[in-house]
Amino acid sequence: MLLPGVSIFLDVDEGGSNKYQLLWSPLISRISRYLQVDDLESIDELEEYIEGSQVIMIFASKGYFKSDNCLREARTAVEKAKPLTLMHDPVRGGATLEFIQQEECPVELLGLFEGRKIIEWHRIKDFQLVSLKLLVAELLLACPGYDKQYDASFRDKEEAQLPDVSRREGKMLYADIYVPGEITETPLKFKEEVRIYASANNPGAREVVEVFQKWMAVEVCFAPPPMATHFLLYLAHETFVGEAGEKLAEEVRHMLQQDLPIVMLHENDMRNGGCEFVRFFSTTPQDLIVDGLYKALALAYYPGHFRPVSLALVAKKLGAVSRRGMRSWRSSLSFSRADGMSEASVVVAAPKKRRPTKDSNTTTPPVNSYTEEGGRAGADSGSV
């Protein structure tokens, strides 16, 4: 999707050009940008640059609202009713968004945060592309005439009468933006059957496997490897806590001793039991840390628009490979409503079933045929 000429003012804290330099990829190469700390010829003309920009992007970091020049920019943008986009780096932003709002933002500028979704800025490539696509969606809405073109795409007359915010919630531009090489655009398949063990001593792990089953062809196994192909260690606030945590530690200890496969998934949704990774260095038994549990990288499990990337990375970790001979875009996409947002998904197919040989006199039921309570259990295939 080519962008018409549009100017964006990138507003970061002073000295932050290296810290928050955007990946100015071909995705947004047709946009003129003014980076506050690099491209201004005269700080006295700050208000004029704001006036000449169509979109103001504020990178809300610690200290931003303590800068006199940043406050000049923000106040001018509000005064001129400029389209605003807010970004926040949850890892290197210096403080939580709540702290920045409550402790640093002047009362008269708190309206900047009202009714506006804050785009999370991520530094891992696959997640970073999502951040950029969300930014581009905001830019497109600020392009001259694009609002009318966007609204005209709604066929439902009643829907067309809804307020702008409601319409944009119902049909996200994000879903129409494509970047070559996106991990979520690559059709995947499993070469072998995947059976995941989620310990009852690991709070939230089995619920996560249920999510996996909605999007990819995996089975639940109620015994750890080698009966299962993978051991899922779901890292959240309650992991390794209390009596259940001690039992989980013993299971993990056995896995490490036997050098059996562990897939670690770090919950990053604070509303769903997520926590900072540093917490695990105090809750995890020290012998597991010394034995190298965290030498392998844990996969990040993000909500919202970032969830499909997390699931695609999980699928690859579980052994999914690219499906050759298939188109890498659109033919593999499905769109679903999740967390109130439209998300793109990549099909992860099950491995081909092997035909039984003539010499096979007996058949062995799959490991996940029966639950712990003796009931039937199945696995749904779907897309990541």
The pLDDT, as a whole number, for residue 17 is: 37
231-286 pLDDT, tens digit each: 999 999 999 999 999 999 999 999 999 999 999 999 999 999 999 999 999 999 99
User: Which segments in the chain show pLDDT lower than 70?
Assistant: 1-43, 144-173, 324-350, 352-384
Return the bridge partners of 382, or none: 348
103-128 pLDDT, tens digit each: 999 999 999 888 888 899 998 889 99
The pLDDT, as a whole number, for residue 242 is: 97
Q: Contact 348/318 with Cβ under 8 angstroms?
A: no
The pLDDT, as a whole number, for residue 172 is: 57
What ranges make up the beta strands (E) of the chain? 6-11, 31-35, 55-59, 84-88, 119-120, 188-190, 195-198, 219-221, 230-235, 262-267, 299-301, 320-322, 333-338, 341-349, 382-383
The pLDDT, as a whole number, for residue 342 is: 34
The pLDDT, as a whole number, for residue 331 is: 32
The pLDDT, as a whole number, for residue 259 is: 92
The pLDDT, as a whole number, for residue 240 is: 98
Which residue segments constitute the domains of the chain, with CATH numbers given? 6-176 (3.40.50.10140), 184-383 (3.40.50)
The pLDDT, as a whole number, for residue 178 is: 77
The pLDDT, as a whole number, for residue 332 is: 35
Name the packing angle between helices 125-142 and 307-317 (round to 10°).
160
- pTM for this entry: 0.73
